[in-house]
Amino acid sequence: MKLTLKIWRQENAEAKGSLITYPIDGIEGDMSFLEMLDVLNEQLINKGDDPVVFDHDCREGICGSCSLQINGEAHGPDHLVTTCQLHMRKFKDGDTIVIEPFRARAFPLIRDLMVDRSSFERIQQAGGYISVNTSGHTIDANAILINKEDADASFNAAICIGCGACVAACKNASAMLFTAAKVSQFALLPQGRVEATNRVLNMVEQMDKEGFGNCTNTGACEVQCPKGISLEYIARMNREYLTASLKG
């Protein structure tokens, strides 16, 4: 395939950025989107130009690092996949592809297509854990019986990889789906109920401090989430937050 890439280039957060056009050919349909960018960068390096900076790690759809806005969609036109799992067969010969970083005040730009998503880490640090000491004190996993529906719902929340697609898709750059998933994965289990009150209050407070917007139930976050995490988790977190607030 021959493609035209319009890529956001910006030296740093203070510099002025713009879309730069790069023609590229020889792209095969079985290539992943990141492999296509690798081909482009190899060509740029061979010409003595600076390569395009983008974030990546596992390339297996697990780490959530490959956060790109592709033709206006978080992770591109395919659904339930991350950018590293997006294949070039989703595009056609001659297509123009616009590639930008995730846009959110709480995700400050580092360079080109790479943004700082450490705000997610600070939300998790505020309460996304249990303080039970499991080192050397492990017990049989079957010692506490858990309803299968609750266990499944907890697991479905825990598959959130923190990629930020929910924030990029939201018109308010809300982090409610991410925070709700991290709250719910513990709130649904007895091991997480001990600190449930402080957890939801602290994580929501930190989310607000980071500058994320409010949820208006548009639903774009669920649509763009590569793991298909449901809006129901936001409703569950709201109930948890209300209960915790009433406890004072």
pLDDT of residue 144: 84
In degrees and rounded to multiples of 5, residue 120 shows phi and psi of: -65, -40
Q: Tens of pLDDT along 201-228?
A: 999 999 999 999 999 999 999 999 999 9
What letter would DSSP give residue 50? P
Tokens of 226: 């590569």
Q: Tens of pLDDT along 12-63?
A: 999 999 999 999 999 999 999 999 999 999 999 999 999 999 999 999 999 9
Report CA dihedral (74, 77, 79, 18) to the nearest 10 degrees: -10
Q: The whole model's pTM is what?
A: 0.94
User: What are the structural domains, with CATH classification, of the chain?
Assistant: 3-111 (3.10.20.30), 117-247 (1.10.1060.10)
CA distance 177 to 164: 10
Positive or negative torsion for Cα 174, 178, 181, 187: negative
Tokens of 214: 């409010």
Count of alpha carbons within 13 angstroms of residue 28, beta-carbon side:
4
Q: Tens of pLDDT along 142-176?
A: 788 899 999 999 999 999 999 999 999 999 999 99
Q: Is 208 exposed, middle or buried (0-12, 13-18, 19+ CB in 10 A)?
A: middle
Count of alpha carbons within 13 angstroms of residue 187, beta-carbon side:
26
The identity of residue 226, as a single letter, is: P
* 65, 115 Cβ separation under 8 angstroms: no
